A and B are shown apart, each in its own frame.
Chain A
Amino acid sequence: MNADEQKVFEEKIYAFVGQEVYPPTPAPDDVNLPMIRQWAEVIGETNPAYLDPAWAASSKRGKTIAPPAMMYVWGQEGFQVTRGRAPNAQSNLVAMFNDYGFTGVLGTNVKQEYFKEVSPGDNITIQMVIDNISERKTTSRGTGYFFETLSTFTDQNGEVVGTQRFKVLKFIPQELPAAAAADDNALEVPTRIASPRGHDNGWWWEACDEGKVLIQRCKDCQTLRHPPRPMCGQCQSMAWDSIESTLEGEVLSYTALRHPKIPGYPKDPICAVIQLAEGTNIVSNIVDCEYDDVFIGMKLKGKVEQVDDKTMLPQFYPA
């Protein structure tokens, strides 16, 4: 799209601002306890202000109310939307974006404000307009425009009970969506990052898989070394064997990884440099302990444990 084409396109889309998506439309049913109860059961809501008329009668309100988050529910169109929705200003705007390649869609923000509580017997009317459309934006998802609808909810007396602003990004997808690419069981619970197993350290991780922490030992001068490497730092011998650690250790240094949370890892893991009784150091996690209780010199006892579906790791506990 060159600058002139963009100008023509933007004139067309900005003409939608102010257009009505839904003229004022009363909900087919009044606010009612059966729908509230069904909603509350699913959401796990036990608030007596919604569900318990006896409690509500003695409360400050004197009667039950509808959950505020149900405000948009009362006017929903119903099952016929599975067969498509009647065209309106919003669907026409979306179609125009699609025609110009802005086929991506992403709801980004929704804000509901409530001015008045509603109760069973009240009837909610919704009116929705296209309130604003942004200038062209470059986002991490692609180039596009944000448009925002504004819904206004009124009761049977014409009093405004609340509003909703819903912001949607229409954008040019950076890569073509894989058509029906998703398949069953694609949802894998993330695990820790797999250990890098090379020629010089694969043996160490394989022992870890078996529940053992080994320490490499020079066959010539008996010096222990960790992490694994091909040559002794003392005598340059490349001959080595290993001993098994007892996993008794002491904190040399520690920190907690606060941010960001990494998928597959516990929140705020405590990471420490631990000196083992054998003399070498190992970097590992301290578990079963609050960060504030860790100190330099703290005695630890390690265990090799399965920490997720795929990973065995040494973890250290307060001794």
Chain B
Amino acid sequence: MTDYKTLTCAEVSVGDTLEAVDIDITTGLVVCGALATRDFEPVHHSKAEAQATGLPDVFMNILTSQGLMTRYATDWSGPEAFVNSIDLKLGAPNLPGMVMTMTGEVTAVDASTGRVDITVLGENNIWGMHMQGTVQLTLPQEA
């Protein structure tokens, strides 16, 4: 069985950065992300409906963005982390053809509770900030 490591609170310091990850925004990711989150709002799967709102193509729904942000944090922490919260500010839409780069940094560590704040920025190469916010995790005190 694959061994999955989870960071402990002691291994993490304020200022630690997460490795940047590029996400290719494709029609598949936008449409399938909407369907996998049972978000059937037409702007997320119908190009014509999206264009009627003034955008050139279908755009990513919020639930997919939340999923990507959480994934980014827990890929870093490992699977035993408890997710306390995800607090995100929404910016420019993610459309097919864009590339979103996610970057993150540890901004708070509370050794007594194991709570760690990670600020995450998801920026696409065309319109800039798509989402920015904080994921709070609780990490194990010891492995």
Contacts and interface: CB of A to CB of B under 8 A. Distances in A.
A108 B39 contact: no
Interface in A149-208: 177-190
A48 interface: yes
A107 interface: yes
B121 to A, nearest CB: 10
A43 B82 contact: no
B83 A68 contact: yes
A117 interface: yes
Contact of B128 (A78, A186, A261): A261
B88 interface: yes
Interface in A52-82: 54-55, 58-61, 67-70, 72-73, 76-82
Contacts of A38: 36
A179 B84 contact: no
B102 to A, nearest CB: 11
Interface of B is mostly: mixed
Contact of A182 (B4, B39, B54): B54
B86 interface: yes
A187 B62 contact: no
Nearest to B57: A187
Interface residues of A, number: 57
A168 to B, nearest CB: 10
A106 B89 CA distance: 11
Contacts of A55: 1-2, 4, 79
A37 B91 CA distance: 28
Interface in B67-104: 67-71, 74-75, 79-80, 82-90, 95-98
A241 interface: no
21 contacts: A43-B64, A43-B67, A47-B74, A47-B79, A48-B2, A55-B2, A69-B69, A69-B83, A70-B37, A73-B36, A77-B40, A81-B41, A82-B40, A108-B90, A110-B87, A111-B86, A112-B87, A179-B52, A180-B52, A185-B56, A261-B128
Interface of A: 35, 38-39, 41-49, 54-55, 58-61, 67-70, 72-73, 76-82, 106-114, 117, 177-190, 261, 263
Given A44-B68, A72-B37, A78-B38, 6 more contacts: A73-B63, A111-B85, A183-B51, A184-B56, A187-B97, A189-B125
